[in-house]
Structure 1
Amino acid sequence: MRLIGHPLHPMLVHFPIAFWIAGSLCDALTLAGVAGARPIAWLAIGVGVTIALVTMAAGAIDFAALEERLVPAAMRHIALMATAWLLYAITFVWRSDGFSPGDGPVLLPALCGFAGGIALLGGAWQGGDLVYRHGAGVTR
């Protein structure tokens, strides 16, 4: 999927990554005692989970046009990013009170988010490897 001649998925991936990292940083600040960071973490993670849905849809369209030799690497990327999305979605729901941040314990939801961050790191590495090493989505 392209927008003005440029692949859409690589353009979008930066947004959920940035929001999820911001959410995890705010979780770390919350655990360190900065109370004002807690609702920001909730919001950032929720925005990241939502934007990731559009990003994944664009990635699925790109996957359909992928060269057969790149499918195994793409499947690793998909598995890691789906794991990251699922963990961040769980931590978002876990800390939610309806449509607002809850006031329950932070440690376990934050650990779930940190685990999502590890999956995110691996999935982003795989995605970058697909593009920069193997030329996935690159117009030749």
Structure 2
Amino acid sequence: MIQPHQAKQPVSAAFAGPYGHPFHPMLVTIPIGAWVAGLVFDIASQFAADPRFLSEGAMWLIAIGVIGALGAAMAGFLDLFAIPGGTRAFRLALTHMTLNLLVIAAYLGNFLWRHSETVTGGVPAGPLALNVAAFLTLAVSGWLGGRLSFRYGVRVADEATQAEGFVSAGRTN
């Protein structure tokens, strides 16, 4: 059996984050937040009296998400190198990475599509549908990423280190 301890250590603490503090989970909040807000703007643009600012806002939120996702992907790629090859965790990480790269490509395409057209009303059905599809794929990939961390413990401190947090602090008078 391959020892899972290897997947807990960073390949490069400077770029992937030190032991117990990986950068990838922190960095994914940028694209996820931007893309959630972009989807909310897209939906709101269907109901607003003057939807142009929502349509434009969604386009730029998508761009912010793509830029943030590239940073998160770099840190995640380094975490991938820490996982022993040929394991369930490694196969799951490859699936997670592939889905995320598809999501980034879909959002990049969505941004370019929107940027090439002049929108005067709400977001057209095509870009809106692509946004929804990319977001649903992102949700599946996020679930897989959670499984990597919480089920397989990738880049999570080992149980001995975690136990330190559950030692009684005692009373000091």
1:14 lines up with 2:32 in the alignment: no
Q: Is the 8 A contact 2:19 2:155 kept in 1?
A: no
What corresponds to 1:41 in structure 2? 58
Q: Does 1:87 align with 2:106?
A: yes
TM-score (ref. length: structure 1) = 0.89
CA contact (8 A) 1:80 1:123 kept: yes
Q: Is the 8 A contact 1:66 1:137 kept in 2?
A: no
Q: 1:4 to 1:72 in 2, by over 3 A?
A: closer
Q: What is the distance in 2 between the residues matched to 1:50 and 1:15?
A: 9
Separation in structure 1 between the aligned mates of residue 32 and residue 59 of structure 2, nearest angstrom: 15
Shift of 1:43: 1.1
The answer as to 2:94 corresponding to 1:78 is: no
C-alpha distance in 1 between matches for 2:43 and 2:18: 36
Deviations for 1:29-49, whole angstroms, at most 9, x for unmatched residues? 112335131111011111000
1:1-140 mapped onto 2 (5 Å cutoff):
1-2=16-17, 6-33=21-48, 35=51, 36-68=53-85, 69=87, 70-97=89-116, 102-103=118-119, 106-140=124-158
C-alpha distance in 1 between matches for 2:38 and 2:45: 10
How many correspondences in the alignment?
137
Q: Using the alignment, how far apart are the partners of 1:131 and 1:5 within structure 2?
A: 11
In the alignment, residue 13 of structure 1 is paired with which amino acid? Answer: V
Question: 3-state SS of the aligned residue for 1:136?
Answer: coil
RMSD in angstroms over aligned alpha carbons? Answer: 1.9
For the Cα contact (< 8 Å) 1:31–1:107, is it kept in 2?
no
- Aligned-pair CA distance for 1:51: 0.8
Instruction: Tell me which structure has the larger Cα radius of gyration.
Output: 2
**Which protein has greater RCO, CA pairs closer than 8 Å, 6+ apart?**
2
Structure 1: runs of 5+ lacking an equivalent: none
CA-to-aligned-CA distance 1:64-96 (integer Å, 9 cap, x gap): 111332111101111211111111111111001
Residue 14 of structure 1 deviates from its aligned partner by 1.1
Percent identical pairs in the alignment equals 30
